[in-house]
Chains A and B, each alone.
Chain A
Amino acid sequence: MKGFTLIETLVAVLLLSIAIAGPLTIAARGANAAQIAKDQIIAYYLAQDAVEFVRFERDSSCLPSTPCASTGTPPAWLAGVSGAPLTPCVSTDGSAACYIDSRTNQTGSCLGTPASCSSPIKYDGASGRGYYVSVPLKSPYTSCSGTSCITTTFLRSVKIVYSASTPTEALLTVTVSWTDAGSLSHSVVLTEDMFDWE
């Protein structure tokens, strides 16, 4: 009888350890999946933000008082309103890429210094005021600082590519990429064809 109980206990211990280890693994994977899901949603909103900004600049540069022109380098309709903020994003061969901080209307080339597209976007947790690029911001805006300034894992770059033979059309590509806790890379790429129709 005692021998049977020992075997029974061993079997029970084995079953219980499987019972504990299985769900724990599943829960860990599930938590990871939840984090990826959350990041993916943030990433696509970040991508949408940049697309909307470029469209806003395009639309604003083609108001009736200042008609669009598809001439120039880059074409005027692609450069954006005063100061031609989209110029660093535009190229004919896809070599130019830029960062965009839509809240402060600030743009700049990814290729310059600091190479902002390779440093992650920051988030101001104190004000909940959206995302900042990791570059010194134009006055009167200031980059967030202190413990409430959260450095996210998201990188974002914007490319606008047009063909010199058809300067009335341009392909906008916004890439948001990030690395999850398991060091796996993810990205959300939004593309849109824009036309000089205004």
Chain B
Amino acid sequence: MSKRGFTAFFAVLVASLALAVGLAIYDLLSRELALSQVATQSQYAIFAADTGAECALYWDNKYTGATAPSVFGTSSTAAWGASPINCNGIDITTKGPPAVDWSSYTDPTLYNCPSSPGSAWCIASSANAATTTFSMTMTSGSQTVCATVVVAKVGNPAQTIVTSHGYNTCSAGGVRIERALQVNY
């Protein structure tokens, strides 16, 4: 039996072991880095959600330009909200495709509008309840963040539920984080 090649064999063995350990450490730490970046992205999402909620609160509380009790829909008789309603310099009543408004949702059983980011202002309603959905975008550092806000009003006097979904990016793909805030009053 030949004994040649043993030194090289052991060298390869040790090399592969060391490489395996090194790769394992690297993998661990690169995941840690990714995790910390996700944490930061999560912050972008929550503050986008907060911006959306503040926008809804402001226009629900302070808007005085309409005869309707609120700028947001309250029932099937709700009037189309007076445009423009600006948040961050963007008219949220017309922002983003598809350009739908509440008149597209005459079916009273259809309570929820499309809630994907980019969907436009729309009101879905029944006799004494309505849901208004709008979305907004803003710039956070070098990236664009989005919020989709659903303002639901039920009963008379109305109970209001503002649900704001914040996203760290406006398009699908990559690491996409959604965080939501809900305000009841």
Contacts and interface: CB of A to CB of B under 8 A. Distances in A.
A197 B58 contact: yes
B62 A23 contact: no
B88 A169 contact: yes
Interface stretch (B43-51, B97-105, B114-122): B43-51
B39 A19 contact: no
Contacts of A115: none
Interface in B16-61: 16, 18-19, 21-23, 25-26, 28-30, 32-33, 35-37, 39-40, 43-44, 47, 50-51, 54-55, 57-58, 60-61
B7 interface: yes
Contact of A47 (B18, B43, B87): B43
Interface in A29-84: 29-31, 33-34, 36-38, 40-41, 43-44, 47-48, 51
Contacts of A171: 88, 138
Task: Identify whether the interface residues of B are mostly helix, strand, loop, or mixed.
Answer: helix
B172 interface: no
Interface residues of B, number: 49
Given A19-B11, A196-B58, A33 B32 contact: yes
Interface in A105-137: none
A12 B21 contact: no
Given A44-B40, A191-B139, A30 B26 contact: yes
Nearest to B44: A190
B144 to A, nearest CB: 11
Given A23-B18, A26-B23, A37-B37, 6 more contacts: A23-B25, A31-B29, A40-B37, A48-B43, A193-B87, A195-B57
